Structure formats: C-alpha cells, structure tokens
Amino acid sequence: MRKRRVLLLILLLFLTLLFLAFFGEKGILYLLRQQKELARIREMNVKLEEENRKLREEVRRLHHEKRYIEEIARKELGLVKEGEIIYQFDPPTPEKERSK
C-alpha cells in the first residue's frame, strides 16, 4: 500500500512537471510562439531592408541624375518642356468598347 502511494505521488509529480513544461509561463508552447514571432519579425526586417535600399537608390538618383528628376516631373506633375505639344486621349469607356 505504501509503495503504491509513493508511486502515485511520483506519477503525480511527473505529470505536474510535464504540464508545466508544456503550458507554463516559459514552457514549450511559449517557446514555439516566440519562434514564430521571431520568424515573422525577421521576414518583416528583410522587406524593410529592401525598401530602404530602394529609397536610398532613389535619393541617390534625385541628388545626381537630372534626367531622373525630369522624368518624375513629367510623370507625377505633368510638366512639359517649352515648345512641346501634348496630346491627351480619353480612355475608352465600357460603352464604347461594347459597340465596337
């Protein structure tokens, strides 16, 4: 009888430790969540580094390439050189496309 109680107590202790190892404050499940979060943050860092590289390249071009500045002025601001003639066409509407 005494052996059985000791064995039951050891089993109960073991199950408690196992439970804490998995579900405790710093258990295995916590570790797995932290690893997922770390992977997500690293992926985000890679994307941000790539975006930073592109922005640095754009800043460099804006500082050193007059042609790039002209290209942006034409695209985004609609600027034209003196003497140029601009032809603008309306985009086709769905009604015009159907009647063709």
| 63-77: pLDDT as tens digits | 999 999 999 988 898
Rounded mean pLDDT, 14-40:
87
Rounded mean pLDDT, 6-18:
88
Q: What share of the chain is helix, strand, coil (3-state, %, to 5)?
A: 75, 0, 25
- Per residue in 29-66, pLDDT tens? 888 999 999 999 999 999 999 999 999 999 999 999 99
Provide the phi-psi class of 83: left if phi over 0, else alpha when psi is between -120 and 50, else beta: left
What percent of the chain has a predicted confidence (pLDDT) above 70? Answer: 95
Greater confidence (27 vs 35) lies with: 35
Instruction: Kindly state the tokens that stand for 54.
Output: 């592109």
What is the predicted pLDDT for the residue at 99? 58
> pTM to 2 decimals?
0.55
